[in-house]
Amino acid sequence: MTKVVLDEQTLTDKVLKTYSEQQSEMILRAFSLAKKAHEGQFRLSGEPYIIHPCHVANILIDLGMDAESVAAGFLHDVLEDTEVTREQLIEQFGEGVVSLVEGVTKLNKLQFKSKEQAQAENLRKMLLAMAKDVRVIIIKFADRLHNMRSLSFKPEDAQVAISKETMEIYAPLAARLGMSQVKGELEDLSMRYLYPKEYYELVNLIASKKEQRDEFVKNVTEELRVKLEEMGIHFEINGRAKHFYSIYRKMQRQNSSIDQIYDLVAIRIIVDTVKDCYNVLGLVHSMWTPLPGRFKDYIAMPKANMYQSLHTTVLNSYGNPFEVQIRTSEMHRLAEYGIAAHWKYKDGKTDRTLDEKIRWIREVMALHESDVEDSAEYLNSLKTEMFNDEVFVFTPQGDVKNLPAGSTIVDFAYAIHSDVGNKCVGGKINMKIVSLSTKLKTGDIVEIITSPNAKPSRDWLRFVASPSTKARIRQYFKRTMRDENIRIGR
């Protein structure tokens, strides 16, 4: 990882260039207070402590976050680690900034009895904070990202423990919020400490093939540039190196060596409109042979984290496959920044779609809070709900439903509505009647058959995949038992 060098003047200039005069004044006041409050404190690296808040604020600026978030980035440790009081912060910066600082401080103060309890409670607190104000988690991501960049100064056991938590909780959560750049760097930094041998082998192997890879990207982009200019559309084109951990996982999945992984880079084409995306896809497929089964249309079927793009893998004239991603500039902004994109160029206000985008947090929390008491089970159910792979299936009306991989007819029924799930007696996939335990595949058209007198079966708990489905089935039986007890006067 390249070390980000940051000096006070560069950061000040960046703030003044990015934010309005009034916003810049507040941010720089936060910087000044943090610098004074942390005076005499040092990091394990021996650097003055203020270096850390500066890097956190800098990451938040790069993510396009609003002025309140950047100010809170500078101040995120002052309540916990200095003599500054809540009242002083409110007087100088108002409730908005203080609420963010307190949110991050609460996440830092967690203490637990066991590893499972620690992770479960940490994830639960993060979700609660997100449901209240998702900016708290984005500040926490920036905090964790800089701590991971400077993790080499920690003892070895701490490096492994922090990297494991980062890999298991922070990186998947960043992915779920669509923050691909943050997720990729967190995974690469974690891999460095969790799998050091494999990490450095991969780094050296990829470095040794850099010239060959650069030449390949140059040739492909030049060929594409000529054809795209002939189309007369506005476009940007670049080759993006894939993250180390992403390559490592692919090697594990395919049981292959680095020499057999050809798509170490993705060619990315950014255009103005959705129509242009599909026209460019046609062009790419006319230039090179598409690989069957490797085309994904995330424009028609967006991922749950808002990601949209066309992905295709094609064979060049030497028979080597490479990936091409095609998207609009707006899709690209969302793909890079995810949920953070909703604050870009805004004064602490988000667009009205944000509540819809994070509604899943509240739904997941509500279901699992009432259903699971055991820490390990709670953690596993939340992880399954949020971080697993997905299948994309259709209702007969053409609506898309995103479900966890391994979902069944019953999972689909409950995804429509609890009443549909409770009354489900059968289902059809692509117009053929199937059993309730049949697993769904991406692209399936699913129809649910219901009966007004039907009831759920406890047997369903053995084969359904979604923790939300399990929670709803259990809730039905709890409610039924409670109603029966009331009826007989218990």
Domain of 250: which CATH number? 3.30.460.10
d(CA 435, CA 429): 10
Q: For position 2, what pLDDT does the model report?
A: 43
Q: Which residues of 181-204 are buried (b: 16+ CB within 10 A; e: fewer)?
A: bbbbbbbbbbbbbbbeebbeebee
| Residue 382 counted as domain residue | no
Q: For position 208, what pLDDT does the model report?
A: 83
Same domain, 284 and 178: no
Same domain, 152 and 207: no
Looking at the DSSP assignment, which residues form a beta bridge with residue 322?
314
| Containing structural domain, residue 70 | 8-194
Same domain, 126 and 186: yes
Catalytic residues: 80-81
| Residue 344 counted as domain residue | no
Same domain, 393 and 294: no
d(CA 204, CA 192): 13
- Distances from the Cα of 440 to the Cα of 151, 386, 390, 428, angstroms: 42, 18, 10, 11
Q: For position 174, what pLDDT does the model report?
A: 87
Same domain, 87 and 162: yes
Q: Which residues have CB under 8 Å from 365's CB, separation 6+?
A: 124, 127, 128, 131
What is the number of structural domains in the chain? 3
| Residue 127 counted as domain residue | yes
Closest CA to 189 of 456, 4, 318, 362: 4
| Residue 304 counted as domain residue | yes
d(CA 469, CA 415): 8
| Residue 374 counted as domain residue | no
| Residue 242 counted as domain residue | yes
| Residue 102 counted as domain residue | yes
**How do 321-328 and 265-271 pair as beta strands?**
parallel
Q: For position 487, what pLDDT does the model report?
A: 65
Q: For position 363, what pLDDT does the model report?
A: 57
Same domain, 225 and 105: no
| Residue 352 counted as domain residue | no
- Nearest-10 crossing angle of helices 86-108, 67-75: 80
Same domain, 187 and 61: yes
d(CA 397, CA 332): 29
Q: Which residues of 61-96 are buried (b: 16+ CB within 10 A; e: fewer)?
A: bebbbbbbbbbbbbbbbbbeebebeeeebeebbeeb
Same domain, 428 and 393: yes
Same domain, 308 and 231: yes
Q: Answer with the one of 172, 194, 216 that is the final residue of a domain.
A: 194
Tokens of 345: 């160029």
**380: enclosing H helix or E strand:** helix 375-387
Indicate the pTM of the whole model.
0.74
Q: Answer with the one of 279, 308, 338 that is the final residue of a domain.
A: 338
Closest CA to 235 of 318, 326, 161: 326
**394: enclosing H helix or E strand:** strand 390-394
Closest CA to 199 of 163, 157, 147: 163
At 458, the amino acid letter reads R
Q: What is the CATH number of the domain that holds 138?
A: 1.10.3210.10
Closest CA to 128 of 304, 311, 382: 382
At 15, the amino acid letter reads V
Same domain, 300 and 212: yes
Same domain, 329 and 461: no
**How do 296-297 and 321-328 pair as beta strands?**
unpaired
Closest CA to 52 of 25, 30, 34: 34
d(CA 145, CA 186): 6
Q: How confident is the prediction along the chain (490 residues), in pLDDT tens digits per residue?
A: 445 557 889 999 999 999 999 999 999 999 999 999 999 999 988 999 999 999 999 999 999 999 999 999 999 999 999 999 999 999 999 999 999 999 888 777 654 445 655 666 666 667 666 667 888 889 999 999 999 999 999 999 999 999 998 988 888 888 878 888 899 999 999 999 999 999 998 888 888 878 888 888 899 999 999 999 999 999 999 887 778 888 888 778 777 666 655 567 789 999 999 999 999 999 999 999 998 888 999 998 888 777 899 999 998 887 778 899 999 999 998 888 887 776 654 555 555 555 555 555 555 555 545 454 555 555 565 565 555 567 878 888 877 787 888 899 999 999 999 999 999 999 999 889 999 999 998 778 899 999 999 999 999 999 998 888 888 899 899 888 877 667 666 5
Q: Answer with the one of 338, 370, 400 that is the final residue of a domain.
A: 338
Taken as a whole, the chain contains a residue count of 490
Tokens of 334: 């969302």
Same domain, 145 and 283: no
Tokens of 457: 């079966």
Alpha-carbon dihedral sign for residues 191, 196, 201, 203: positive
Tokens of 265: 């880079």
